[in-house]
Structure 1
Amino acid sequence: MAKNSLLETPIAFMKESMHITRSQLDSLLKSYNCYFKDQKNLHITYHQEVKGQIVLSGLIEIFWGVQRPIRFKMQDEKSISTESIQLPEVIGSSITKSGMMRWGEFDDLYHIEEAGKTSDDEPDSKNDYDYNSITLKPNLNDHAPDSPSLYRTMSDAALVRKRIHPDTPDRSHLQKHRFSINGHYYNYKTSIFTPAFGSETKVMIKSTMKTKEVIEQLLHKFMIENSPNEFALYIIHASGEKKKLKKKDCPLWERLLQGPSGSIARMFLMDREAEEISSDVAQYIKFNLPLLEKILQRLNEEEEREIQRTIAKYVHEKSIVLQYLNTKTVKKTETTV
């Protein structure tokens, strides 16, 4: 009995005055995660904090439905200057401004050392090349053992490997990479554009995050300059019903309650002014134009009949009130006389 009562005790607040019990939460999560059994990254998990609060977390799908252009930030928050990266000097190469290597006449870099040995043993009188020059291979005696250029005495193949995989510290924490919207990265010519309707993205959120916080998280992911106040989150059902999430709503709870299937309901990032569509109106959306015109005509006729009934009722009630007032006035006059 105690175990059953514990399962039926409200443990989490979802929205407004709606709570959920442990058994309901377990059932919802089981159905949701079973739908994504082959996509573990889309599972929703939860943990209980020290104060007893249940917090859900998960990666959810949000679709682009904005009509106004969005603006990318010009550059990432932290970028690394190419001047601050010291690339190792590689023999027989030149480094361009873009950081690319341009090699000379040697197609096979491993032949450089062999060429040097050939020139030492049998100098070619026809060519005036000195393979011991600093152009290709330095004289090993020119540098003391403690010289900072000691690495130049390594084999050319080793130097190539060192160039490709330099021993530089991990700088991943210094730069936050920009995500793309369907391959649309920042480009100064197209940094202002409107994402294709229905383009899909994913964002990691928690149940403690309200609607505005989720929008901020999404804009930060793509480094979009627009204000979060320009947008809103909507749930669009397969029937055509469009519901705007309130500021106090928790999108992750809403996604869990709507179920995992995108064919039933999807969450869209749309302009704040986008119009909501009620379930009553949504049932007519998929009809063809002639049928919709007939429906509209009937609605107008019904509206006109309702107006006439309201006017007739008003006139009838007015006549009764006036009649009652006239009666009261006559009685008062007779008493005075």
Structure 2
Amino acid sequence: MQESHRCGSVAVVGRPNVGKSTLVNALVGAKVSIVSSRPQTTRHRLLGIATVEGGQLLMVDTPGLHREQGKFKASAMSRVMNRAVRGTVEDVDAAMMVVEAGRWDEEDTLVFRVLHDAGIPVVLVVNKVDRLKDKAALLPFLAQVSEGREFAAIHPVSALKRKGLESLVRDLLRLVPEAPPAYEEDEITDRSQRFLAGELVREQLMRQLGDELPYAATVEIERFAVDTSQRQGPLLRIGAVIWVEREGQKPIVIGKSGARLREIGSKARQQMERLFGNKVFLETWVRVREGWSDDEAALKAFGYGDS
């Protein structure tokens, strides 16, 4: 007798910088969510589709949930991202709560409370176990964080090295309903190539600027066209605008003689070609919109808060 097929949605939730996007990419088997060492790299809800033996997991990668206090955390950007997380957990079958091995702080407690209040089964994913210097400390840590808290399962993993994921997938499938696949086997996200192009440019901003431009830049794709006149095959012509908040931030992004902007564009283009399977011609510009990250109307115009 053939086993039933399971398909359902799973929120991927955690405080900033615990590796949620790396985990989603590892489970999908392709890069659908951008990653960097900077907290709050993920700003949008993004669906990663993992088609596995016996089912399909629709994983909703979310921004890092954090307490709304302090200068940055009181901003409109912060409020929009937190609303995205809270809205996601109201409409899923289960959740993965991702934490960092050896660390549990007040923001992890906040995440647990949000998930507990949502009344959905929660799998605790203890990520970055490969970075834990004292491996003997893992079991006491697991005992500590699970005391007084109910989890459907607990899985120590290394998303970066793709360790411990098979048993995690099996437990997640048990938590979602019997249903046919919602997407074709070769689909990996519900987001458009246009959206992903903008995210790949922003990823390079986050990676290359470090703390020089904290949270003050976003990317808008002004043009996304397929040029079929090329002999070597379709060429994607993409125009990306990098928006900053002050005139003085433009030279930080552009760099000396435009070197940094060229490097951002080159790295982003390579990632696009790898993901889209087409040659890409990418143009980038830097423009200023004062205070956009603390203006809910501007955030809406840039697509923040959209599902």
- Report TM bin, short chain: under 0.3
Instruction: Tell me the TM-score normalised to structure 1 length.
Output: 0.17
Q: What is the TM-score normalised by the length of structure 2?
A: 0.18
Structure whose residues are more often strand by fraction: 2
Rg comparison, structure with higher value: 1
